[in-house]
Amino acid sequence: MTIHDWLSERTPTPPDRLRARIDDALGDTVNHPASDATRVNIAAAEALLRDLLSRPSAGRESALDLLTVDALVTYAFESASTDPATLAAHADDAMRRLASLA
């Protein structure tokens, strides 16, 4: 099963525009194994957030991208929750990576 397949099984399903933006943010990594979903979603969220923070302004035109970052992080932790023993490590890594962008 690929990350694309795994995302397609999530409920509730995101609106079409959000799902398309998630897929766009993930790029070719949507074809990676679903077991990579935590790492890949955090990396995509980090890259998109970095792009958002580099923009001169973050007005309404950035709303979809902000929702996408939120969705990617949410999906990353949904995936990470399948192995509770590693959840804290994933949370620490995500916090460190995302906070370093500020």
pLDDT for residue 14 is more than 80: yes
CA distances 34 to 49, 72, 96, Å, are 22, 14, 23
Q: What is the dihedral of CA 61, 46, 77, 85, to 10 degrees?
A: -170
Domain boundaries, the chain: 3-99
Q: What tokens appear for 65 in the block?
A: 């991208």
Contact 3, 34 (CB under 8 A): yes
pTM: 0.94
C-alpha span between 16 and 53 (Å, rounded): 25
pLDDT in tens, 19-61: 999 999 999 999 999 999 999 999 999 999 999 999 887 788 8
